Structure formats: structure tokens, C-alpha cells
Amino acid sequence: MNLKKFNHSKELPQFYTATILDWKMLLKSEKYKMIIIESLQYLVKEKRVTLYGYVIMDNHIHLVWNPAKLYSLKHTQLCFMKFTAQRIKRDLEINHPGALDSFQVALKDRVYQFWQRNPLCIDLYDNKIIVEKLNYIHNNPVKANLCKESIDYRFSSAKFYDEIGDEFSFLTRFDT
């Protein structure tokens, strides 16, 4: 493996964690996980990000990604969070209106909130750190008893790095 250092003048890859408000299990449903997947597919297709790794848990997500030079990291994060929140809200309004009440907030700029504010975002300066973060996120479903082996969890990049495949066709190896 080539352990390169990233150029500090370019945008660095990021370890990004976003959590559902109050750690509620909103993403337990596969259809909400698929909203996250579709949003990531769009961002990759439009070349707004390069996605190196991910895991979608029932109440949070972890991503290892790099924004394109044309788009700021902050703008990409906001677009991602806003789009996924709007899609989930629309589904809840139609299919689970009672569940929507648990996401009601008393804020001036919104009635409902799905993602906690201030997601975690950490610069990743070299491949060694990226490997550590990928190992951490791939082990999340195992630690949560959602699967026995990380490659058994569908909503993770573990299979991709174990050379089994990329079901959603949006990942890039970080070490190439």
C-alpha cells in the first residue's frame, strides 16, 4: 500500500459523522438508508465528492470522503443533510405522520429536525489515518450486533475493501 501524505494546499479527505437528533433510530428502516445511498450516489455522479468509505447505522452515519475543488466541504455537507432530511420528512408525512412529531423542534428556522447540528468532521492527512477510520467504521455494525462479520453488513464499504464488490457503484479506493 502506498502511504502518501496529502497536499495541504488541496482539500483533504474527511472523516465525517452525522447523527440523528437525540440518537433516535430513524435510519433503522432500509428505505431511509436508501435515501442516504441515493444522495451519496448523486454527489459522486455529479463529481461533487469522492467517496472512499461509509457505514449507515440506525442512528448515525460515518463517511470518508473528499469534496471536489469546485464545491466547499461545508456546502456539500449542507446540501447532503438538507436533501436527506427533506426526503425523510416527506416519507414520514405520507407514511408515518405520528413518528414525525418526535422530530418537532422549537427553532426559528425549522419545524422539524432530523440531523443533530454540528456533525463531526476531521481532516485525514495520510493513508494510515484513513485505514484506521475505515477499520473503525467497518467494525461499527459488528460492535452493534447487526452482523457477525463486517462484510455481512449491506450498508457499508467493507465488502468493497475486501474485494467482494460495490453494490451501489459509488466508491473509489483511497490508496490508488
Over the stretch 46-71, which tens digit does the pLDDT of each residue have? 999 999 999 999 999 999 999 887 77
| CATH number of domain containing 132 | 3.30.70.1290
Provide the whole-model pTM: 0.91
Residue 5 falls within a domain, yes or no? no
Is residue 3 a part of any domain in this protein? no
Domain membership flag for residue 7: no
Over the stretch 101-124, which tens digit does the pLDDT of each residue have? 999 998 888 899 999 999 999 999
Q: How many domains does the chain have?
A: 1
Examine residue 42 and state whether it is found in any structural domain, yes or no: yes
Cα separation of 76 and 80, whole Å? Answer: 6
Residue listed under C-alpha cell 425523510? 88
Domain that holds residue 82: 14-161
